[in-house]
Amino acid sequence: MVIEFGQDRPQTEEILEFTKTKKADEARQILFEELKKKNLLKIFEEIEKPLLPVVKEMNERGVLLDKNIFKKLSEKYRARLAELEKQIWKLAGVNFNVSSPKQLGEVLFVKLGLKAKNQKKTAKTGMLSTKESELEKLREVHQIIPLILEHRELAKLLGTYIVPLPALVDKTGRLHTTFIQAGTTTGRMASREPNLQNIPNKTDVGREIREGFVATPGFELVSFDYSQIELRIAAFLSGDKKLIEIFKAGADVHAAVASRVFNVPLDEVSKEMRRRAKVINFGVMYGMGVNALRQQLGTDRKEAQKFYENYFQTFVGLAKYLDETRAAAARRGFTETYFGRRRYFEGFKSPLPFIRAAAERMAINAPIQGTEADVIKIAMAQVAEFLRKEKLLEKVFLLLQVHDELVYETAENLVSAVAPKIKEIMENVLPLSETKEVPIVADVSVGDNWGMMKKFG
């Protein structure tokens, strides 16, 4: 029996059908016996169960929204959309619905005659695709493309966040999302109705949206963000000596990797070398191959192949670990995190090569991303226990969990005392003796709103 449903919130009827029982107690007994058989009871008892009240309180608390900020953003970006539309029409030589893939395709590929190398067609119509990834291939071909991409991004953010979020607040002005503990197959949490985990944090518009998430008067927002945690986890899971050395030394991991791969002294690593190292550092953990690396680096296949080989010849422990993870997943049909959480992969049984390849890529990342999910869940429960013991449950509230980040609303007069304690708890979920001396680091930021936060300490 594989305990993995097709959705993150199965209904009672589905659980009864799955366990072939008629009563909830019988279903519960079967599921717990299965957990015990697969050594997964510890995951439930020590990671998921302590988190149940924490998630419930987080959902009930909600986060305060400043409606005025959202109103101004709506006005600003509606005006920008109209301006972009006029510029696009002028370059196209015709007025059309920029949001219509069909009309956009006709303008770009028929009227303007644009075409990129290896551009894909849609399966449904056979027309050249106007997906973002395909338009990116044309970015340098015609000046209309960057404007279309900007228009698309703004329209998406307006329609997903800027306009709807203020309408969803309760009578006290707070927005309540629903955090789902078992939100993904890797163990990561998800956020629904609305999803607050996908607001961009690296774009100007994304940061402006986050500025609308504000602290309650008398409180500050305090963000704790695990720094490069997936790379750190990859280092100690793989036991790669060179990668471990980099983290133990507290070096800039991307610059240090570039130094080793390009065989140059650290102080001679250029911005481009560091960028390339960063691309492959994160890419290999998601099963990135040479072709994907070539695209990300903007280079030819020969150069990408050389860089790829140099990387794995340098970090042999990591290469061996990724190969062993892939092979074990194919053999057993599942992967395990450091704590024993499993993820199953039906794709390995598929007769279709591209489905098996997709399963391999996901299997490489699952133990790393899943371990990160376990770590942050344990941290959330441990911080909640600390707050309970210190009688701070009415002074410090967990508001948001966004992948590697936790955002707390903390009474202003307690920030300087509480923030270091939470940071310490988060950094010691796994002791150094278990991480092969690779430090787990949490960066702390404080501010009146989620978009403009300053480094703490």
Percent of the chain with pLDDT over 90: 85
**At residue 448, does pLDDT exceed 80?**
yes
How big is the CA angle at 348 (ends 122 and 360), to the nearest 5 degrees?
75
DSSP 334: E
**pLDDT tens-place string over residues 232-246:** 999 999 999 999 999
CB 160 within 8 A of CB 197: no
54's CB contacts (< 8 A; 6+ apart) are 380, 381, 384, 398
290: left (phi over 0), alpha (psi -120 to 50) or beta: alpha
Q: DSSP for 370-436?
A: HHHHHHHHHHHHHHHHHHHHTT-TTTEEEEEEETTEEEEEEEGGGHHHHHHHHHHHHHTSS-TTTTT
Please compute, for residue 141, the number of CA atoms within 13 A of its CA located in the half-sphere on the CB side: 15
Question: What are 95-147's pLDDT values in tens digits?
Answer: 999 999 999 999 999 999 998 766 777 766 667 889 998 898 899 899 999 99
Alpha-carbon distance of 231 to 283, in angstroms, equals 11
User: Which regions of the chain carry the CATH code 1.20.1060.10?
Assistant: 65-167
Inform me whether the pLDDT recorded for 223 exceeds 60: yes
0.75 surpassed by pTM: yes
The answer on pLDDT for 454 being more than 80 is: yes
Q: Residue 284 has what pLDDT? A: 87
Note the pLDDT tens digit of each residue in 345-403: 999 999 999 999 999 999 999 999 999 999 999 999 999 999 999 999 999 999 999 98
**What are the phi and psi torsion angles at 399 (to 5°)?**
-105, -45
**What is the model's pLDDT at position 274?**
96
**What is the C-alpha separation between 252 and 106, in angstroms, rounded?**
47
Residue pair 54/183 in contact (Cβ under 8 Å)? The answer is: no
Per-residue pLDDT of 42-77, as tens digits, reads 999 999 999 999 999 999 999 999 999 999 999 999
Q: Which candidate, 406, 419, 410, places its Cα nearest to that of 375? A: 406
Residues present in the chain in total: 457
Q: How far apart are the first and last CA of the chain?
A: 50
Q: How far apart are CA 279 and CA 225, in angstroms?
A: 21
Query: For 262-305, how does the pLDDT look when each residue is reduced to its tens digit (9 = 90+)?
Result: 999 999 999 999 999 999 999 988 888 898 899 888 888 999 99
CATH 1.10.150.20 fits 230-366, yes or no: yes
How does the average pLDDT of the chain come out, rounded?
Answer: 93
Q: Can you give the pLDDT at residue 124?
A: 67
At CA 209, angle to CA 203 and CA 212, rounded to 5?
145
Q: Could you say which DSSP state residue 128 is in? A: B
Domain range 65-167, CATH architecture: Up-down Bundle (1.20)
230 contact partners, CB below 8 Å, separation of at least 6: 282, 285, 368, 369, 372
CB contact at 8 A, 273 and 264? yes
Cβ-count burial of 332 within 10 angstroms (0-12 exposed, 13-18 middle, 19+ buried)?
Answer: middle
pLDDT bucket at 5, cuts 50 / 70 / 90:
very low
> Over the stretch 309-353, which tens digit does the pLDDT of each residue have?
999 999 999 999 999 999 999 999 999 999 999 999 999 999 999
* Among the ranges given (132-136, 145-149, 176-180, 418-422), the one the predictor scored with the smallest mean pLDDT: 132-136
CATH 1.10.150.20 placement within the chain: 230-366
